[in-house]
Each structure stands twice: as C-alpha cells, then as structure tokens.
C-alpha cells in the first residue's frame, strides 16, 4: 500500500516537469526580449513593440494558467447507481444481467450514445454511468465530461470545463511566438552578417528566434487541427473513433452547424470569446438541448415566459431532465449564481 502511494506521488511530481519547462522557457523569453534585446530605432517603434509583446504575453499566460488549474468536469451523482442497484450489479457475474440493471437505471437519463456493442457505457473504476461524450482519463483517474485528451503540457485533462481555455492557450501562444519571431528576425539577420555588436545579447537573439520559430511550427499544426474539431463539434477522441448512437456510429452526431458548433465551445456572448473566462452557463445549457436532437424543444419555447422567473423555470426544467452533457461538478467556478451540480 505504502509503495503504491509513494509511486503515485512520484508520478504526480514528474507530471509537472513539462509545465515547469514551459514556464522556464516563457520566463527566459520575457527576459531575453525585454531586457537583453536592444531594439534599435525610434522610441515610437520601441513602445509599439513592447506594448504588443506584453499584451500577447499576458493573454498567453492567463489562458495557460486557466487551462492548467481549471478542474475537469465530472458526472453528477444522478449518473451513479442507486445503492440497491449497485449492490446487485457488483454481485452479478453475468454481463447480460449487469446490462439489464444499467438499462433500468438509464431509462431516467438522457443517454444517446452506446458502446461499440450497443451496451450502456459504464465506468467500473468510477462506478458511474458515463454521460454522452464522457470518457475515463487514466492519468487523472476520473471520468471527464466531453473529454478531448489529457495534455502533458498542462498536466490536466482537456474537456468540457477548460476546452475554451485550451483553444485560447494555443491561439495566444501562436500569436506570442509569431510576434517574437517576426520582430527578432531583423536582429537574427544582423547576427549572421556580423552587423550586431559583440555582446552576450547576440546569443539571446539567436536562441530566441530559433525557439520561437520551432514552437510556431509545432503549435500551428495543433491549432489548425483543433479549429477543425471546433467547426465540426468533435473531440479528439470522437475524431479517431466515431460516437456510437442507438442507430449506429455517426461521426457528425453532435454537429449543429458551424456557427452553433463554435458557440458550443465559446458560448453565445461574442464579447468574451477571446477572453479566458467562464462563458455564461446558460449558453452551454441552451446549445446542449439542441445536441440532444431538440430533446426539450426549442430554447425559445423554454424561455417564452421571459424575465427572471422564466429563466429560472428554464434552468429547473433542464436540470430536472438530467441532461447528460450539462450535469457536471462545476467546482472550478466560484462565481455567484453559477450552478453547482454535484
């Protein structure tokens, strides 16, 4: 028991190495660009360079921080087996009988996806019926809603609660690296033509350009791929293995159309799309109903009463139907008024 605990602690510690590496590289890039790199030319040019650099730097660090420290969303207790069914399930040895137990419980849940064999998706590790698009992450040792992948560079599982932050992290890291590479290029050329004064700053210029260019190339491919996923409303897992519905596999089963697919990740308030902040929860709830093939009818019908009371009935009705995609533990959000479904 003790050796296993020690091993687990070591694994958790080692998992932070990629994050620490990125943090050190970013700190060095800031020092090299702001302190060591002597920007020649007018003061106006210097101010513009530093202003753009700091804006991209702040947005990059902010989105990276949010991606790392936003806790993954997990299924709520509604997807756990009741005590009697759980005891019966654990005692039963026959898979077909276990499936019958799961089917009885799942009748009150909005489950549309199945396993490849058409069975109810159940996680024996977490002892929970998996909501649609939910998968178990072996690294985090938990079931994660709308799981995309586990990213070692953020030491976190990317899913429902932080996928927007991850996309913004890729966006601003690409902008950050592109700006550094473009603005340092002239000094990099001077380095090779021996026009740059002899100093240790020359080596900062050399490595700064190479590191920025290298990260640009690697991030660009990943960024392009995830933009494609957002446009299709797919996760990385779903891109490699199409989700199986009651009528069979369908790779476009969650696609709502390009604009609504984007809103699934960034919400319906365009003002906040480029900011790594939690999007209004109502936006997630609204589009989640349409994923479920208009399970609850149109959003306009649900909100027809209008006003605070109508909005309250809208939320209650969604929660009462236990929508699999929106029943999550949003413990990462400490905002007043945000639903905290356990």
* Alpha carbon distance 106, 251 (integer Å): 23
Mean pLDDT throughout 77-95?
91
Q: What is the pLDDT of residue 317?
A: 35
**Per-residue confidence (pLDDT) for residue 204, from 0 to 100:** 82
Asked if the model's pLDDT at residue 216 lies above 90, the reply is yes
The percent of residues above 90 in pLDDT, for the chain, comes to 59
What tens digit of pLDDT does each residue of 2-31 get? 667 788 888 888 999 999 999 999 999 999
Nearest to 166 by CA among 180, 149, 179: 149
Q: What's the pLDDT score for residue 288?
A: 46
Model pLDDT, residue 188 = 78
Q: Could you report the per-residue pLDDT of 149-190, keeping only the tens digit for each?
A: 999 999 999 999 999 999 999 999 999 999 999 988 887 787
Least confident span in 78-87, 100-109, 128-137, 316-325: 316-325
Mean pLDDT of 81-91: 91
Positions marked catalytic? 151
pLDDT exceeds cutoff 90 at 340: no
Note the pLDDT of residue 198: 65
pLDDT, tens digit (0-9, with 9 covering 90-100), for 217-274: 999 999 999 999 999 999 999 999 999 998 899 999 999 999 999 999 999 889 999 9
pLDDT at 201 over 90: no
Q: What's the pLDDT score for residue 145?
A: 95
User: What pLDDT shows up at residue 39?
Assistant: 58
pTM attached to this predicted model = 0.81
Q: What's the average model confidence in pLDDT over 25-45?
A: 82
Smallest CA-to-CA distance from 27 within 38, 35, 16 is with: 35
- How does the average pLDDT of the chain come out, rounded? 81
99-148 pLDDT per residue, tens: 999 999 999 898 999 999 999 999 999 999 999 999 999 999 999 999 99
pLDDT score of 10: 87
Domain residue spans in the chain?
Answer: 2-70+162-232, 77-151
Q: What is the pLDDT of residues 278-309, one digit of tens each?
A: 874 444 444 343 445 444 433 333 333 333 33
């Amino acid at each position: 028991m003790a050796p296993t605990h020690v091993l687990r602690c070591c694994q958790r510690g080692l998992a932070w190495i990629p994050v620490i590496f990125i943090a050190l590289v970013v700190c060095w890039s800031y020092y090299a660009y702001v302190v060591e790199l002597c920007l020649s030319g007018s003061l106006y040019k210097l101010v513009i360079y530093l202003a753009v650099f700091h804006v991209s730097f702040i947005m990059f660090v902010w989105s990276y921080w949010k991606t790392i420290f936003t806790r993954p969303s997990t299924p709520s207790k509604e997807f756990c087996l009741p005590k009697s069914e759980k005891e019966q399930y654990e005692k039963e040895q026959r898979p077909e009988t276990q499936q019958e137990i799961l089917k009885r419980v799942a009748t009150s849940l909005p489950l549309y996806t199945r396993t490849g064999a058409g069975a109810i998706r159940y996680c024996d590790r977490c002892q929970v019926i998996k909501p649609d698009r939910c998968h178990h992450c072996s690294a985090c040792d938990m079931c994660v809603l709308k799981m995309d992948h586990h990213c070692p560079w953020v030491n976190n599982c990317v899913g429902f609660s932080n996928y927007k932050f991850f996309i913004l992290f890729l966006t601003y890291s690409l902008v950050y690296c592109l700006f550094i590479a473009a603005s340092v290029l002239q000094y990099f050329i001077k380095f090779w033509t021996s026009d740059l004064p002899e100093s240790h700053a020359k080596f900062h210029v050399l490595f700064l350009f190479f590191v920025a260019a290298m990260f640009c190339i690697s991030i660009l491919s990943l960024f392009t791929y995830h933009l494609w996923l957002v446009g299709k409303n797919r996760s990385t897992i779903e891109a490699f293995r199409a989700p199986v519905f009651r009528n069979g596999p369908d790779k476009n089963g969650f696609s709502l159309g390009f604009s609504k697919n984007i809103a699934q990740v960034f919400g319906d308030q365009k003002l906040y799309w480029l900011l790594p902040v939690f999007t209004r929860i109502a936006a997630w709830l609204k589009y989640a109903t349409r994923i479920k093939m208009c399970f609850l009818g149109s959003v306009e019908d649900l909100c027809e009463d209008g006003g605070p009371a109508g909005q309250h009935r809208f939320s209650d009705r969604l929660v009462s139907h236990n929508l699999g995609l929106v029943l999550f533990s949003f413990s990462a959000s400490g905002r007043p008024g945000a639903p905290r479904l356990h």
